[in-house]
Amino acid sequence: MTPGRWSHWKNRGVLQLTLLVVSIALADSLNPSTMAPALYLTTVHSPRRRVAEFAAGIFAVNMVAGALLVLGPGQLILSGVPHTSHHAKHVIELVVGLALLVFAALLVIGRHRVAARIAPTRRAARGQRAWALGAGIAAVELPTAFPYFAAIAAIVGSDISLPRQLALVGLFNAIFVLPVVLVVVALALAGPRIEPRLERTGEWLQERWPTVFAILAGAVGTGLTVVGVVGVSGSP
């Protein structure tokens, strides 16, 4: 393969990986464990500052954890397999896709139990520092953050440079906290007038989040599975 053609396929692979990371992050961003406390914080003193601190706490913990996974176990795995073949990449896509489909199915089955978790999470927002609350929730949720782990697996399984891998981890986490950041923007633009709408949004999210997330995760998982199956069957 000529250098120009290799560069074309490599750039195309980076674009596909970026779209994958963005898709998983968007689906995962509709998370009641982060949105419920954020919406509650709109009702307290200095809501913009507190919601912003809450988002910063979430981003910091998830970013550090993701970077450590990429720098530690991820690079250790890559050192044993320095050149990831196209077949291996398609296998990773297939595995990540199937994992998201299983996660979506489990979420649908346990949707009522998952929805019930919002109440204690929202109550926990009372009387705590916003940044510490965000960091604490991120740390507690991290062991079960299957979409995040799926995205990291895809990132580590690629052949892009380490700085680009870390940049994609940062992109995932920026998108993950985007709904919380949008709450800050809404408060800045509309002020107290938007608080009733935010409260109604929180109630809607509490009731329907598991189903909405399952649909989004299932769609991403289906796409990845199809791409992985086609790639595996077509690769030597």
Tokens matching residue 228:
């992985």
In a domain, 6, yes or no: no
DSSP tag of 72:
I
- pTM to 2 decimals? 0.69
Tokens matching residue 75:
């690079």
In a domain, 184, yes or no: yes
Confidence of residue 76 (pLDDT cuts 50, 70, 90): low
In a domain, 5, yes or no: no
Minimal CA–CA distance to 33: which of 185, 188, 144? Answer: 144
pLDDT digits (tens, 9 = 90+) for 52-71: 999 999 999 999 999 988 88
In a domain, 11, yes or no: no
How many CA atoms lie less than 13 Å away from 230 in the CB half-sphere?
6
In a domain, 131, yes or no: yes
Tally of domains in the chain: 1
Minimal CA–CA distance to 48: which of 198, 201, 209? Answer: 198
In a domain, 3, yes or no: no
pLDDT digits (tens, 9 = 90+) for 155-209: 887 778 889 999 999 999 999 999 999 988 888 887 666 666 666 665 666 666 6
In a domain, 65, yes or no: yes
In a domain, 13, yes or no: no
Query: Which residues constitute the domain of residue 169?
Result: 20-234
Residues in the chain: 236
